Amino acid sequence: MAAGVVATLQIEHAHELVALAGPAGPRRGREQGEVAAIEDGAVAVGEDGLILAAGPTDTVRAAVMLAEEARIIDASGRAVLPGFVDAQTHAVFAGDRVDEFVRRLEGADYLEILAAGGGILSTVRATREASAGDLLARAQETMEAMLRHGTTTVEVKSGYGLSTADELKMLRVVRALHDTAPQTVVGTLLAAHAVPPEYRDDADGYVRLVCEETIPTVASEGLARYCDVFCEQGIFTVEQSRRVLGAGQKHGLVPKLHAEQKGRTGGAQLAAELQAASADHLDHTNDEDMAALARAGTVAVLLPGASFILGEPHGAPARRMIEPGVPVALATDFNPGTCPILSMPVIVGLACLRLGLSPAEALVATTINAAHAIGLGDEVGSLEPGKRADLLILDAPSYRYLPYYFAANLVHTVVKDGLVLVEEGRRQEIE
């Protein structure tokens, strides 16, 4: 038997295996909710950390030979799923915003706090002051906590530097995370996250700096795959966003956009026009925006944690997106302001309870569709031969328990690239 079919890890007898094998590209429309769970499922993993086979236990056993030292995990009574892909985070920052949180509970408005120099800008002050080493240590702790909640791939943005030097500092930390954290980490430049104090009355001047200096420098160091903008009333206009994303494209950075979070600005239409990899938030999209996103194939990354924490009465109109065929993904948006939630299971719960997704749609949104939102759909997000062996075993028989018990962490085991990194909820040391 060829070396390629010798398994060093085999997970067997899962009560339910959700492999999400299927069409190339993100799932949309009816397919968003089709998970085809397999009873008595198994996954075999090769020495290279890639999946050899996934399917019914009998079929996998027949297809794969076990190495002498192979580890076999009995997943009886448990569900096996792809690892979560968190497609939007701001996980590198210093300080916290608990004072702002309490002020908002008392009625203060998020954008007004920012306009007065607080909010994002208070995190910018703290992040500029912090050393790269301190930012990295803090972000590594975040990554470890995310891992225990089942996240095996993470997108991380800059955006709390707002000068070329400080954005570079942040993105070098993101690269160091990529090299040292257990997850696969993808970097995004978000220099256009807010207008920095130095350019308080000259947003266009800051946009010029981002286009002419920050983007070329970041791209020449290969520090980011994506370029993102916070397109919002009082932050960056559609025209300014177009300039930044266009400059990013000229330097090989793929566009993403924070769009229609607090109000409708036309950002979703811009994302569709540029065929952005994703448009994120979208709480205030209308039907024309959705039709445009569906035509462009842009993934809608919905962030129900942010709208929940901001006390919005509802989040994005997810059902009205799925029907016309917008591929929907979900992410935590982990950041110190609008979403201090780093747990993807909590996001699954909020998506079902507040956005009206079914548990199956939410699972697709947090795995394979999220992988496509960050350009990794061929590597992660489903359990198929040749993909990275990134998977979870839940302490529950079905993925449907995730939103039901969303306040608990049901993640029992986490396998990343074929290594068992978490078992019985505890981090394992790997030699």
By CB under 6 A, name the one of 230, 236, 334, 399 that touches ligand NIG.
230
By CB under 6 A, name the one of 152, 237, 338, 343 that touches ligand NIG.
338
17, 36 Cβ separation under 8 angstroms:
no
Residue 308 interacts with ligand NIG (CB under 6 A)? no
Distance of CA 29 to the CA centre of its chain: 21
Residue 335 interacts with ligand NIG (CB under 6 A)? yes
Give CA–CA dist 42/391, Å, rounded. Answer: 12
Residue 333 interacts with ligand NIG (CB under 6 A)? yes
Give CA–CA dist 85/416, Å, rounded. Answer: 12
From residue 129, give the alpha-carbon distance in Å to each of 124, 171, 217, 338: 9, 15, 21, 21
- Token couple for 41: 């499922």
CB of 261 to ligand NIG, least distance (A): 5
Q: Please identify, using beta-carbon distances, which residue of 93 and 399 lies nearer to ligand NIG.
A: 93
- Token couple for 256: 């993403």
Residue 120 interacts with ligand NIG (CB under 6 A)? yes
Q: Please identify, using beta-carbon distances, which residue of 31 and 280 lies nearer to ligand NIG.
A: 280
Tokens 């031969």: give the residue.
Answer: 385
Residue 256 interacts with ligand NIG (CB under 6 A)? no
Tokens 């747990």: give the residue.
Answer: 343
By CB under 6 A, name the one of 82, 119, 161, 304 that touches ligand NIG.
119
How many residues lie near ligand NIG (CB under 6 A)? 13
Residue 89 interacts with ligand NIG (CB under 6 A)? no
By CB under 6 A, name the one of 261, 265, 298, 332 that touches ligand NIG.
261
By CB under 6 A, name the one of 150, 255, 336, 381 that touches ligand NIG.
336
Q: DSSP secondary structure string, 96-141?
A: --HHHHHHHHTT--HHHHHHTT-THHHHHHHHHHS-HHHHHHHHHH
CB of 406 to ligand NIG, least distance (A): 20
Q: Is 179 exposed, middle or buried (0-12, 13-18, 19+ CB in 10 A)?
A: exposed
Residue 306 interacts with ligand NIG (CB under 6 A)? yes
- Token couple for 366: 């947090």
Residue 236 interacts with ligand NIG (CB under 6 A)? no
CB of 225 to ligand NIG, least distance (A): 18
Residue 226 interacts with ligand NIG (CB under 6 A)? no
Residue 28 interacts with ligand NIG (CB under 6 A)? no
Give CA–CA dist 379/363, Å, rounded. Answer: 17
Q: Looking only at residues 270 through 289 of this chain, which bind ligand NIG when binding is defined by CB under 6 A?
A: none
DSSP structure class, residue 163: S
Q: Return the residue nearest ligand NIG (CB atom).
A: 337
Residue 196 interacts with ligand NIG (CB under 6 A)? no
Residue 90 interacts with ligand NIG (CB under 6 A)? yes
CB of 262 to ligand NIG, least distance (A): 8
User: Which of 426, 336, 429, 430 has the alpha carbon at shortest distance from 147?
Assistant: 426
Residue 41 interacts with ligand NIG (CB under 6 A)? no
Residue 241 interacts with ligand NIG (CB under 6 A)? no
**Helix, coil or strand: residue 322:** helix
> At residue 141, what are phi and psi to the nearest 5 degrees?
-60, -40
> At residue 235, what are phi and psi to the nearest 5 degrees?
-115, -95
**Helix, coil or strand: residue 347:** helix
Which residues contact ligand NIG by CB under 6 A?
A: 90, 119-120, 123, 230, 258, 261, 306, 333, 335-338
